[in-house]
Amino acid sequence: MTELLKIENLNKSFGALEVLKGIDLTVEKGETVVILGSSGSGKSTLLRCVNFMEIPTSGRIAIAGKPVGTERSRASGRIQVDYRESELIGIRATVGMVFQHFNLFPHMTAFGNVMEGPRTVLKLPRGECEARAETYLSKVGLADKMHSYPAHLSGGQQQRVAIARALAMEPQLMLFDEATSALDPELVGEVLQTIRSLADEGMTMLIVTHELGFAYSVASKVLFLSDGVILEQGAPDDVLVRPKQQRTRDFLRGHATYKLPDLAIT
Amino acid sequence: MGYEWDFGVVFRDFDLLLLGLVNTLKVTGLALLFGVPLGLILALLRLSRHGVIRIPVGIVIEFLRSTPPLVQLFWLFFALPILTGINITPFIASVVTFSFQSSAFFAEVFRGGIVSIEKGQWEAAKAIGMDRGQSMRRVILPQAVKRMIPAFLERVIELMKTTTLVATVSYADLLYEANTIAQATFRPLEVFTVAAAMYFAVLFPVSLFVRRLERRLGRTGEGTVH
Ligand SMILES: Nc1ncnc2c1ncn2[C@@H]1O[C@H](COP(=O)(O)OP(=O)(O)OP(=O)(O)O)[C@@H](O)[C@H]1O
Ligand SMILES: [Mg+2]
């Protein structure tokens, strides 16, 4: 197996507020890592550090074996990492991100949204951009909605377009930040289905979600984040079924208050 | 009081009024031609992340917005020649003044449109690897422009009305011509009535258009800025 993402002692503060306090995480190629944690525990911040939407305060991040940024020893003996914006732009182009609120470009059709990255960022020839838009919209099951504007799509469809938009960059890593939290319950399934099929195809993914059932079935590894540290991590069975930490148990209990009995019909 | 209206004298000199209207449109048009791009540049500079750019540009914009245009015009036409020894024509003085003056207002319209776009749009653009310039060009501005059109057109109407000030430096705009004719014919009532009607004839359709546009944008759920 090859290491796609290696995070070492990652710290992130906003002013005096320490949000991430020494995160270590290794993600192998093809792994699906699910990140759990209560509100404010730093899940979004962790994802946003991985594609450098936020600049880490300290620590190392390497993607596909390549450390991002240039390390420099400071007089104090501490190691400082300098980041060039051009390098970070290159990273973001190879790491896809899907947001809770989709953030589609409302002035472009679904097709335009998906084509935008290849066209403006990768500067591919028009024909190839169109081919990619078709490929990835079909992949998320929206071949028939290519020429619709986001305003005319359901939330689930919009989120699938957003996934296609990220995939069109042909990223080596995908980040999902509560991709289904803003959706009506009946639309959650189609989006989870799309993410699941990506997992099956071997896409490497970091997923923040509150859908525990989905997490259990899709994850190769589950992390429980609490107050900016990884309190517990391991296989879904270890973290979700046999958690060792009391905080993890409390969190899981809080999320499974109304568990349905197994369906009587088959 | 029985006043004998006589529009005959006005229409004898109507070609002068038309010429004045053309000159008014000329100053307005040129002020737009220079003021709009300059306004966009000022807006973008004022949104810069660097204080050394943002702050001085902000001061210039606020200065232009908070000084009377007539003072700006007089300063350029009467005061600047003392300083530089270069005399400029009323036409040049008018165009320069209103280009700068309107650019400051346009800058604020543009900036308002740009900052009204949700943060998520910047984020999505950034996340697929766009730099700030690309995000602005491809994602933010196309949406912002739609929102600022009504406010922008309001400003254009405002600009054309404000250009009446150029008459004070003897530039032969519509108001100046009207005043000349009024003094020669002793018929100010008729002359200024016709002049007002001519401004109205140009600006009212624009105003109606803005109203319609606002309703349409409002219907499609696109907010507009003022
Ligand atoms: N840009 C920022 N500036 C200042 N504080 C921030 C910023 N982004 C996040 N924070 C703070 O960092 C902490 C962690 O935020 P984060 O969004 O990572 O949490 P989260 O685990 O994703 O929570 P949620 O489940 O509510 O999305 C919070 O206290 C938040 O207020
Ligand atoms: Mg979050």
Under 8 Å between Cβ of A53 and A97: yes
Ramachandran angles phi, psi of A208, nearest 5°: -95, 125
**Min Cα–Cα distance to chain A from B172, Å:** 45
Under 8 Å between Cβ of A61 and A67: yes
Which two structure tokens, joined as six digits, stand for A163? 């996934």
E runs forming strands in chain B:
none
Q: Which amino acid is at A213?
A: G
Predicted complex ipTM exceeds 0.90: yes
> Which residues are A164's β-sheet partners?
none
Which two structure tokens, joined as six digits, stand for B53? 């750019």
Which two structure tokens, joined as six digits, stand for B50? 């660097």
Element (H, E) at A193: helix A185-200
Which two structure tokens, joined as six digits, stand for B120? 């998520």
Nearest to B127 among A90, A97, A101 (CB): A97
Show the domains of chain B with their CATH numbers: 8-219 (1.10.3720.10)
Atom 1 of ligand 1, nearest CA residue: A14
Residue ranges, chain B, pLDDT below 50:
221
Q: What is the pLDDT of residue B221?
A: 47
Q: What is the pLDDT of residues A19-78, one digit of tens each?
A: 999 999 999 999 999 999 999 999 999 999 999 999 999 999 999 999 999 988 877 777
Alpha-carbon distance A46 to A19, whole Å? 9
Domain boundaries, chain A: 3-253
Distance from Cα A44 to the centre of ligand 2, integer Å: 4
Alpha-carbon distance A106 to B222, whole Å? 10
Residues, chain A, total? 266
3-class secondary structure, A227: coil
Distance from Cα B166 to the centre of ligand 1, integer Å: 56
Under 8 Å between Cβ of B152 and B106: yes
Alpha-carbon distance A203 to A213, whole Å? 20
Nearest to A107 among B124, B125, B143 (CB): B143
What Cα–Cα distance (Å) separates residue A186 from each residue in A147, A208, A217? 24, 20, 19
Question: What is the DSSP code (8-state) at residue A58?
Answer: E
Atom of ligand 1 nearest to the CA of A43: 21
Alpha-carbon distance B186 to B112, whole Å? 47
Protein residues whose CB sits closer than 6 Å to any atom of ligand 1: A 14, 17, 19, 37, 39-45
Alpha-carbon distance B47 to B28, whole Å? 27
Global confidence as pTM: 0.87
Alpha-carbon distance B193 to B190, whole Å? 5
Under 8 Å between Cβ of B226 and B110: no
Candidates A13, A17, A50, A224: which one to mutate for ligand 1, based on the most atoms within 8 Å of Cβ? A17
Which two structure tokens, joined as six digits, stand for B2? 């029985």
Element (H, E) at A224: strand A221-226
Residue ranges, chain A, pLDDT below 70:
1, 256-260, 265-266
Which two structure tokens, joined as six digits, stand for B18? 């038309």
Alpha-carbon distance A48 to A28, whole Å? 19
A-chain residues near B118 (CB < 8 A): 103
Q: Do B123 and A89 touch (CB under 8 A)?
A: no
Residues, chain B, total? 226
Q: What is the pLDDT of residues B48-65, one digit of tens each?
A: 999 999 999 999 999 999
Looking only at the bridges linking them, the beta strands covering A221-226 and A32-36 are parallel
**Min Cα–Cα distance to chain A from B53, Å:** 20
Q: What is the pLDDT of residues A215-230, one digit of tens each?
A: 999 999 999 999 999 9
Distance from Cα A239 to the centre of ligand 2, integer Å: 20
Distance from Cα A259 to the centre of ligand 1, integer Å: 29
What Cα–Cα distance (Å) separates residue A91 from each residue in A82, A195, A220, B86? 15, 22, 24, 56
Topology of the domain comprising A3-253: Rossmann fold (3.40.50)
